[in-house]
Structure 1
Amino acid sequence: MNDSPFDFVEHCLSPFLQKEKGIVAVAVSGGPDSLALCHALAHASVVKSLHVLTIDHGLRLEAAQETRQVGEMIADWPCVRHEIIKRVLPIDPATKIQEEARRDRYALMATYCAEQRIKQLFVAHHQDDQAETFLFRLAKGSGLDGLGAMHPVYCYSPDLQIIRPFLSVPKSGLVDYCMANHIPFITDPSNENRDFVRGRLRQSREILEEEGLTPKRLAVTAQRLIRAREALDFYADQMFTQACVQKEATFFSFAFDVLVKAPEEIRLRVLAKAMKLLIPQRDYAPRMEKMERLVMQVFEDPAFKKASLGGCLISYHYKTGRIIVETESGCSI
């Protein structure tokens, strides 16, 4: 891939690959983005073995056939091992079908990686996906953290990193890569299905671009928000340490007179961090509106005593001047 128009692929991958040959996994649906990533990893000199994971999500009749097609497409590529993982559909499907399928997909791949002792799982989210995630979360009322969208590296668990090397690459570039390397790919019609929020967002792209909201501009905005989030977390971590007077397995105790001097955003992040540490297995953080309401009650309502949110009980003890964040009765740690 040297001296070619597609040097960007190698440039994007190199920061995330180990110097010594290793074993990594990649999620491949059969679309141009994931196949471009798979092809690049398969031909990377430092990849010893590439586990290609394809989920039969069961959302479409063609899904099972498409998973087999992926195996046929990559059969001659170096160092690949294709694995088809079948998702068991819930008996009572949720209304958020795509969101539930996405969560199940990551859980299934994480389980596989744990069994194979694989530390890195590469996924092919690109610039268009980043822009789409930004808009999706904006519509849901996310705060700064949510609007920061996807990170290039996400610690799914202590033993597994999710790697997204293509967040700065437009999908058109990955399609061009596939065409130049004669890589066939599958088009998923559900990507444009207006029954799903993301499908509707994709179909509104032309209107947004006419107003200057291009995927590149939205992705750059998301990256700037990530930078702002990291700065706020830096200062929130310092305040967490300063204000925390007691730390146990089931609760944190904070000095009100220390925490009340911090800006509202820092107070919010301190309480949110305590809740996350107490219940790390929670899939989603509480909605931003609820966190904001909680912070306002704790620090501005003189009658506040206690409130529950996200599996935690937050209380203020006037005699000791302590804010207690603890797990609710019956909540597993």
Structure 2
Amino acid sequence: MQDVATRAGVSAKTVSRVFNDDPHVTEDTRERVQSAMRELKYVPNMLARTFREGKSAVIGIAVPDVADPFFAAVTKGIELAAREHDMAIVVTSLGDNPALEQSIIETTVRRQIGGLIIAPIAADQSYLARWQDSFPIVFIDRIPTKLHADYFVEDDFGGAFEATKHLIAHGHRRIAIVGDSTEVPTTKLRLEGYLAALADAGLKSEHELIALGSRDADAAAHVCKTLLALPDAPTAIFSSNARFSTGVFPALQALNRTDIALISFGDFPMADVLQPSVSVIDQNPRHVGRVAAERILARIAAPTKKFRRKNVIPVKLIERQSCQGAAVSPSQSSTTPRSSR
């Protein structure tokens, strides 16, 4: 910066003002400084700037799987919001082993980040308490445990209730749920919403139709085939997340079972153009990412300001073709469907 200042015949402070687009710099001075920057190929040292200003221009993001359609879209929302404020992001995957969460997060926070957005996988986030005075921490998708912090979560219970109720309204009585372990808080809430909708309609939950424990799309596809092989198979499936839906849908196609209704909790790429197009509970993940990033930025700008920590984001059903599969009464064969309308 001093070299640029010397060549342009100005002070280092003026160089800084030009780089930060200060409107009070004259056009002649701005042109001289910018010319010197180009000639010397000057770029600011962001690490030095971090030490000087006492804050980092980087937001850390930690999610279970960056390849998951939901978390990929959340990350994009964070990135767009951060970019508007001249901040960068650094992203890491936590995986599916809760025992590794703390070590992965602590590696991330040592990178001089200015804020952290995390979708936790472990049952205890108290280890983050010592970092809260250093930078803001915002949780997404899952509520923190043993730590008071901001969080933005979707209405998992309400979305699952609405999806199941919608299938019931289409005439379905044997509705299966495919999902992760109930150790995952979102899965637990979605299972509760599913069960509540059945009870509300006077339907008994069937243990054989609650297919939890899948780890990926392939496992969900296998579970789907197992469900449809039951003597009294389900006529509809509620997939509890978008990742599993990308396994369930191809499995239905492979079996040529377009008569089986499907609703996915979470939209995924191409879901609206598949045949049949897949009905979803829309979580609007980009919005989730944006509001989380905006809370980070707001806390950086006003560290002592009071904010509402608990934030539940509404979800909505997007009805497409897949939830209109034919309903079958318990007394009928699962391979001889009748219309539900």
Please report the TM-score for the alignment, with normalisation by the length of structure 1. Answer: 0.25
Q: Larger relative CO (CA 8 A, sep 6+): 1 or 2? A: 2
